[in-house]
A and B are shown apart, each in its own frame.
Chain A
Amino acid sequence: MNIPNFMMVRHQQLHTEVLANLKNTLSEEQLKFRPLEGMQPIIWLVWHMARVEDMGLSRFIWRTHQLYDASWRARMNLQIDHYGTSMREEEVANFVKTVEVDGVLAYQTAVGQRTKEMLEKLDVDTLDEVLSEEEVLRVVRDEGMASEDAQWVSPHYIGKTRGWMLCHMGLTHNFRHFGQIALVRKIIKLRENT
């Protein structure tokens, strides 16, 4: 099994499962539900996963523009261009108030599809390349991938290989937040049954 196929086995399953379950089993109110202050709602998690995958893979792996643009911004009804890490409580609360759920779900579908297409064209020889401080700061700080509060991520990325970033931003980051989605879903279901 080659690297793109290895990635796609879990990546596509995740995207399909997330989308299928969300659209079919949860209402908009439930998607925006926050079990506790400090816990993000499912729709925020989906948005964040998609933004990290889109911006991270586009800029560090495919090395082209991200899918996100002014039209996606408008469809999601959000004024946020960074990828959401270290967002403050009031920012998440404002996100929940304004976000267009269908726009986020459509964006996530589009990002997942694009990843699949780009993986088929991936030059695996680039995966051993190490990310320089200059490249990371250009994307994270200058292009606005991360907010001011999230600039701590740069040292975390500097020195990593493109292969590490592909695995992190395409798979493990998504699965980490998928676990959070599963937890919030469980809480929603338990509340319904009590």
Chain B
Amino acid sequence: MKITSSFLLVFAGFLCLTCQETKPKVNQANLTHQFYHAMSASDLEALASLYKDSVRVGEGPYLNVIAFPDYQDWLQWDSVFHPQYDILELEESDSIVWVKIAKTCERILFLNGKPLITREALTFQEGKVHSLVIQEYIDYDQEAWVARREKLVAWVAKNHPELDGFIHDQTRQGALNYLKAIELYQAPDE
């Protein structure tokens, strides 16, 4: 009886260890692909299922923690420009996935003249994305970006005052006005 109990205890312990060892490791690379696919689709529901609890976006020493309802506003704004996120490089380490991302959309093509390329890191906890950290802007023409934006804003204020203020309006309507402003600005003179 005593031997049987001891055996059962050892066996139970072995089972526990086995369970721990066979716990499936989260496929972080796969989650990363799903994440940027959801970003391209501006799919809040998919992003909410991928993030651990809130949206955490870090840049420099700052981290923005954004609740999903608030993030929805930004996603709707971004979606109007038809964003496309392409993973150019992916490197997976212990608990971080490093990616080189090319983001292109109508706004970025106008301001940057080419896709915006960044080096980003995704950190993971409990099988979910914990945070997205933008580590470096690799291809970002800041001088041209600022100059084009200022010229656009000044041109709209003078020629289409009904769209004035679009640059600070991060709502869906603000984005539609932004696109309209670009379209009018780039239209050939009549």
Which residues in A have some Cβ–Cβ distance to B below 8 Å? 86, 133, 137, 141, 148, 151-156, 158-159, 168, 173, 176
Contacts and interface: CB of A to CB of B under 8 A. Distances in A.
A173 B61 contact: yes
A159 B135 CA distance: 10
A151 B135 contact: no
Given A155-B98, A155-B123, A173-B61, 13 more contacts: A86-B63, A86-B65, A133-B94, A141-B95, A152-B56, A152-B133, A154-B123, A155-B121, A156-B60, A156-B135, A158-B121, A168-B61, A176-B61
Interface in B102-121: 121
A152 B61 contact: no
Contact of B61 (A156, A158, A159): A156
7 contacts: A133-B96, A151-B123, A151-B131, A152-B56, A152-B131, A156-B135, A168-B61
Contacts of A133: 93-94, 96
Interface string B44-68: 0000000000001010110101000
Contact of B125 (A151, A159, A176): A151
Interface in B131-151: 131, 133, 135
Contact of B58 (A137, A141, A152, A158): A152
A156 B58 contact: yes
A86 B61 CA distance: 11
Contacts of A148: 125
A136 to B, nearest CB: 10
Interface in B62-104: 63, 65, 93-96, 98
B128 interface: no
A155 B130 contact: no
Interface residues of B, number: 18
Contacts of B63: 86, 152
Nearest to B65: A86
Nearest to A173: B61
B44 to A, nearest CB: 21
A86 B133 CA distance: 14
Contacts of A173: 61
A13 to B, nearest CB: 22
A186 B69 CA distance: 33
Nearest to A88: B65
B95 to A, nearest CB: 7
Contacts of A156: 58, 60-61, 133, 135
Shortest 8 CB-CB contacts between residues of A and residues of B? A155-B121, A152-B131, A155-B133, A152-B58, A151-B123, A152-B123, A152-B133, A152-B63
A137 B95 contact: yes
Interface centre among A86, A154, A156, A159 (most CB of B within 10 A): A156
B93 to A, nearest CB: 6
A39 B56 CA distance: 19
Contacts of A151: 95, 123, 125, 130-131
Contacts of A158: 96, 121, 135
B172 to A, nearest CB: 28
Nearest to A159: B135
Contacts of B125: 148, 151
A35 B96 CA distance: 37
Contacts of B61: 156, 168, 173, 176
Contacts of B56: 152
Residue of B60, B96, B98 most packed against chain A (CB within 10 A): B96
A156 B60 CA distance: 7
Contacts of B135: 155-156, 158-159
